[in-house]
Amino acid sequence: MPDQDEPITLILDDVRRGAPGAKDRLLELVYDHLRAIAASQHARERAGHTLSATALVNEAYLKVLAGEHVDLENRRHLFGAFARAMQQALIDASRKRNAHKRGGDHARVPLESVEPPEAVRLADPIDLDRVLPRLQETDPRAAEVLRFKCFLDLSEPDIATILGVTTRTVQRDWLFAKAFVRTELEADESKPG
């Protein structure tokens, strides 16, 4: 993860002012990290997914930096925007894939069984998208931690640096976020209809 907060912030200032080449300089600074994140996301997707790592970075770029007016303040804001953009791209791809399976054999996987060693993907991106607003209302920082871990595959120390908190705080937020998502998804499953 780029730990050069000042260069990112300075380039973001240039991007906000519309300086020529600023978006390109920013992408050059963070691209390798975003590509590694996307490759990790791509590797964890189910067989049959159609969104390549490069396509995921491109989708995120288009959502975050391709617009006429970009108003990102710092590294935290930038990576938060990329986390949300990658989340949305994965959700869109999952919805397209699931549209072909309506009424088919789409089985839900219990949360307990979806914990790869390093990078944890709690559930299907569509399930997370449904539950994230509830977590955001309950604990905004825990929602940010969940986004950074699930959609940017950031380490706890990297998240702590971005959020300006201790690693232990990130660990507590992560435990809370996982428990919250698990509880909410179980509650959703038990609702009739």
Kindly list the domain boundaries of the chain, sorted by start residue: 5-190
Angstrom distance (rounded) from CA 52 to CA 59: 10
pLDDT of residue 116: 40
pLDDT of residue 42: 67
Query: Average pLDDT for residues 1-6, to the nearest whole number?
Result: 54
Long-range contacts made by residues 161-170, C-beta under 8 angstroms, separation at least 24?
Answer: 161/1, 161/3, 162/75, 162/76, 162/79, 163/76, 164/76, 165/141, 170/145
Angstrom distance (rounded) from CA 36 to CA 162: 18
Nearest residue to 86 (alpha-carbon basis) of 59, 62, 124, 126 = 59
Residue 112 has pLDDT above 60, yes or no: no
pLDDT of residue 111: 44
pLDDT of residue 44: 66
pLDDT of residue 109: 47
Q: How confident is the model at residue 185 (pLDDT cuts 50, 70, 90)?
A: confident
pLDDT of residue 146: 92
Taking only the tens place, the pLDDT of each residue in 29-81 is 888 888 887 777 766 665 555 677 788 888 888 888 887 778 888 888 888 88
Query: Average pLDDT for residues 75-90, to the nearest whole number?
Result: 85
Q: Is the pTM of this model over 0.95?
A: no
